[in-house]
Amino acid sequence: QTPPETIYKRLQYFEKFNLPIAATEFEMKDTIGDELEKAAMTERVMTVLFSHRLVNGIYAWTIMSRDRAIVEASGRLNLRGKVWMHLMKQRWWTVESLTTDANGTVKLRAFKGDYTVSVGDEGGASSIELPLDEDKKSEVTVQSK
């Protein structure tokens, strides 16, 4: 039940090392509130972690174990699991279909991750894998057929 501000201050303490931070063992004690309170806390903590520039991963190792899990014994996501999936696959996920300008340029801000970029015109299309693992501009050049 650590407040988000405290979590962020702790992350700031480690900034001086300028090393990647992975948030592991993301679980909650059985004694913390009801499922709605745990889901709200999941959203707050994950958002704080995601907002910090050095955090490069958030991991839940306790998938199906007692009340600490994000998956029920039946295999269905509990409310915490639904929050987790919504954040990871909806809020912090980039899916775009764009058209270039007259110079063949597209600008897009995207979340870090591995992307498949497809570029095409009337003559066909080609795809490349583009990892985006740091704050940078990426350029994709496709030869016209």
Instruction: Return the higher-pLDDT residue of 114 and 28.
Output: 114
66-119 residue pLDDT tens: 667 788 888 889 899 999 999 999 999 999 988 888 888 888 888 888 899 888
Beta-sheet pairing, 21-23 with 124-132: unpaired
The region that residue 104 occupies, defined by phi over 0 for left and psi between -120 and 50 for alpha, beta otherwise, is: left
The sign of the CA dihedral 116, 110, 13, 23 is: negative
- C-alpha closest to that of 42 among 62, 15, 14: 62
Q: Please provide the average confidence, as pLDDT, over all residues in the chain.
A: 86
- C-alpha closest to that of 27 among 69, 58, 57: 69
The enclosing H or E element of 114 equals strand 113-121
pTM for this structure? 0.77
